[in-house]
Chains A and B, each alone.
Chain A
């Protein structure tokens, strides 16, 4: 039994550009999949294929158990889509927007009105309900857009970069809304460039780059693949580097790396906070003055960097060297095998 969202070998080409190069996905019912990748990796194209907006050249896709290519209109009844831009009519009020969307989901007018009232309440928009959406703040528009996607409480939701462009406070608020939603049993596919966001919201993560899924797993699994925890020490005096390095060697599970100019030493460890305390004591006993010390777990940024050779946000500047990046990625894939 495939999951609530299932894709196999999705391929989509635009001219010479292969936007999707064989994407496979399987999202169990009631879970959140984070689709993570830089701009142009194929995240949006994947969402567009799954939400019937774009027909893939090849591959299969099922949403809520319905064949997307054969019965697109049946799929549309079972999904909600919240896109990169808050797709609401800015000249309509919040209430009018939701009423319209409800009617276009084929609800009776009266029912659509009642549902709009519920959603405005749920998304804290009741006070602004009768103002044109033009007067809303960015966060309010996103909430309205999300409310519009939820009019029929669809079992499957797609959110394409829901928090892009929002300030941290609004992002936090939207995360809370998304969490509530998922706790109600909705299956969600979420794309994001923010690794923190995927870490926060997603059960499983697929990292995509150049139209392919290059890694998948839970956030912890991906981090574990990149390497476990490390102790990082910045010593005060350059002369102490050698001694500190010796100390760390005693605690470490692997090679200590030293950055001379920042006076930072890093060593992979296992043992967590307790070990960290021991390291501090030992360095103190030896009279080594330290500026900073910490236990560092890999972030998804580390994961991304090690998988693709570039950071998620860096892609824009790197467009010129996309070919290099691709070469690099191939090398990584070979290494992975």
Chain B
């Protein structure tokens, strides 16, 4: 026993970026093991977007006017970027609930009493959520292909679109992390993580042509960070319904999407880590 613990004392490296990365990966691994032991959560996370694809495609399909046509097949191609983007933002609730659960069970206290990098508990969680988001997106893309969605551009452009989607999802899990640290129960984190996503994802170009909205609402939709990613994906996939709006984020959707996501990460990571440092269950 003492041989091991003596080695511990001497094996302590300095607090550095390397330590941050290592600690984050340890926590990410822990969260991934957890997720693999609660497969029903991953499965429900898949069913919901698949249901949305089917419902929106077939219920709304014939009634939506996209670029002057109400052809259901056109709407399906239009819809997928929106569903993809909405799906990645729903990771917010998972991250929030997970962190609230850790607080509730005293695990955050344990982590905070360990000599580990300060942001690692949250970074580890968001990284694990990113893996889950990527998996969900993969399955969803297959379902989308089955209902008739196609891309009409080069592979790098398609991959870039998925990259932007993952970045958006990652950014939103940091919002979830802050929510998880701010509420008392995992249940509150789940509903608190979802409620505001409905206006954010619906007052956008995700499901309808935003140029048909009331002008002020269209304005909100055009500047909504969420719309920028949807617009960027439509451009990169070569899907119909790209908004002709002259608002800056609509004109430079790829850049806008990138900038918005990075700003959200920086802002909410800062707030969440600060909150973590003073967190108490």
A interface residue numbers (CB < 8 A to B):
48, 51-55, 73-74, 76-77, 79, 81, 83-92, 96, 100-101, 103-108, 111, 114-115, 118, 122, 132, 148, 152-153
Contacts and interface: CB of A to CB of B under 8 A. Distances in A.
A167 B190 CA distance: 34
Nearest to A112: B8
B109 interface: yes
Contacts of B214: none
Given A77-B12, A81-B109, A89 B30 contact: yes
Given A91-B37, A100-B26, A132-B37, A73 B15 contact: yes
Contact of A105 (B1, B8, B33, B109): B8
A79 B113 CA distance: 8
A122 B5 CA distance: 15
A66 to B, nearest CB: 12
3 residue pairs, one from A and one from B, having the closest CB atoms? A87-B106, A85-B106, A76-B115
B255 interface: no
Given A73-B115, A87-B107, A106 B4 contact: no
B13 A106 contact: yes
B105 A85 contact: yes
B26 A152 contact: no
Interface residues of B, number: 36
Contacts, number: 100
A206 to B, nearest CB: 21
Interface in B11-30: 11-13, 15, 19, 22-23, 26-27, 29-30
Contacts of B120: 104
A74 B9 CA distance: 12
B94 to A, nearest CB: 14
Given A76-B114, A114-B4, A132-B37, A83 B106 contact: yes
B7 interface: yes
Interface string B98-122: 0000000111011111111000100
B195 interface: no
A121 to B, nearest CB: 10
B280 interface: yes
B110 A101 contact: yes
Given A100-B29, A104-B116, 4 more contacts: A86-B106, A87-B107, A106-B12, A153-B1
Contacts of A74: 115
B34 interface: yes
A87 B109 contact: yes
Nearest to A122: B1
Given A89-B30, A100-B26, A111 B8 contact: yes
B51 interface: no
B30 A92 contact: yes
A54 B2 CA distance: 31
Nearest to A134: B37
A122 B23 CA distance: 27
A120 to B, nearest CB: 13
B43 interface: no
B142 interface: no
- Residue of A79, A105, A106, A114 with most chain B CB atoms under a 10 A cut-off: A106
Nearest to A119: B1
Interface string B33-44: 110011000000
B110 A83 contact: yes
A52 B112 contact: yes
A108 B19 CA distance: 12
A154 to B, nearest CB: 9
Given A79-B113, A101-B110, A104-B116, A115 B12 contact: no
A51 B108 CA distance: 13
A105 B26 CA distance: 11
